[in-house]
Amino acid sequence: MKIRHFACVLGISLGFCAAAQAQQGTLDRIRAGGGITLGHRDASIPLSYLDDRQKPIGYAMDLCLKIVDAVKEELKMPDLRVNYQPITPATRIPLLANGTIDLECGSTTNTADRQKQITFTITHFVTANRFVSKKAGGLKTFDDLKGKTIVSTSGTTNVKQANELNTARKLGINILNAKDHAEAFLMVDTGRAVAFVMDDILLAGFVANHADPRLFTISSEALSVEPYGIMLRKGDPAFKKVVDEAMTKLFKSGGLTAIYEKWFMKPIPPRGIVMNIPMSDAMKRVMDNPTDSPDPGVYK
């Protein structure tokens, strides 16, 4: 350990340093460094986004801060520093794996493939993969997209599903990859793509924040069920135990219900919009029986 620390201090190899830090137990590393780092998104409204002061806020951020409280209690460090690190769909898993962030507080679907690289805590939201388009286009199902240009965000399960559907149904769709959700929605707004394929809760957030939400519609057809979970590093049972216990406590105490109401049923920053999305039956079932399963069938 002394050799690793010396290399990190001298800055001989940043890659080696990050790898060494990631291999260390998360709780031990947090204790030694005096801080915990939360990865956040910039436009996953209302789960994880920036307010008008560029402060990370949202439903997932509030849940992560409750987990931070549990870590403070576990380590007996009430003054534990909280750091924030911006992430994207493409960087979220690498930054978690290499130790740059300790919790990924965004809008990430728990899948079996992802669980080969990282770990998820208990599911905190259940959404579905749909598309948003201009109402004037009259697009309601994925078959309506035949021969058209659509967009999704690079590094997401949505892109993969759209490509698989395109091949299976022989739709001849031209699928563009945007660097983030905001760019993808803008492409629909400006006519560069007829539809943006993404999780319906995120699409609803973009529509609600548009100057004229009446211009848009979200498809009735859904490609899949998407259970969201907060990510943490794989192979760290001690940290996962603290995280899972914190989430279970939130579920059983009614704390998660209060946080849900705050972000989905009441005015949210920065414009005071109301999402007006009651908790789904699928999420109510998770509340009764907490699970970190990646199997979509569990949530149906």
pLDDT tens for the chain, 300 residues: list them: 333 343 444 444 444 444 444 457 999 999 999 999 999 999 999 999 999 999 999 999 999 999 999 999 999 999 999 999 999 999 999 999 999 999 999 999 999 999 999 999 999 999 999 999 999 999 999 999 999 999 999 999 999 999 999 999 999 999 999 999 999 999 999 999 999 999 999 999 999 999 999 999 999 999 999 999 999 999 999 999 999 999 999 999 999 999 999 999 999 999 999 999 999 999 999 999 999 999 999 998
Q: Which two tokens stand for residue 250?
A: 């939130």
Instruction: Report phi then psi at 28, rounded to 5.
Output: -65, -40
- 19 in a structural domain: no
Length of the chain: 300
Q: What is the DSSP letter of 117?
A: T
Q: Which of 188, 205, 225 is the last residue of a domain?
A: 225
- 21 in a structural domain: no
Question: Is-contact 194 150, C-beta < 8 A?
Answer: yes
- 278 in a structural domain: yes
151 sits in the region (left: phi over 0; alpha: psi -120 to 50; else beta) called beta
Q: Which of 202, 225, 248 is the last residue of a domain?
A: 225
Residue span of the structural domain in which 263 resides: 26-124+229-299
In sequence order, the β-bridge partners of residue 268 are 273
Chain centroid offset of residue 62 CA: 13
Cα dihedral across residues 18, 62, 185, 211: positive or negative = negative
Domain total for the chain? 2
- pTM here is 0.86
Domain shared by 145 and 105, yes or no? no
Question: Is-contact 152 198, C-beta < 8 A?
Answer: yes
Domain shared by 40 and 54, yes or no? yes
272 sits in the region (left: phi over 0; alpha: psi -120 to 50; else beta) called left
- 18 in a structural domain: no
CATH of the domain at 181: 3.40.190.10
pLDDT value, residue 19 = 46
Domain shared by 92 and 168, yes or no? no
- 9 in a structural domain: no
Q: Which of 199, 225, 251 is the last residue of a domain?
A: 225
Q: Helix, strand, or coil here: 275? A: coil
Domain shared by 215 and 236, yes or no? no
| Whole-angstrom distance, CA of residue 257 vs CA of residue 119 | 24
Which among 287, 232, 290 is positioned nearest to 71, based on CA atoms? 232
What amino acid is encoded at 127 in this protein?
T
pLDDT value, residue 22 = 47
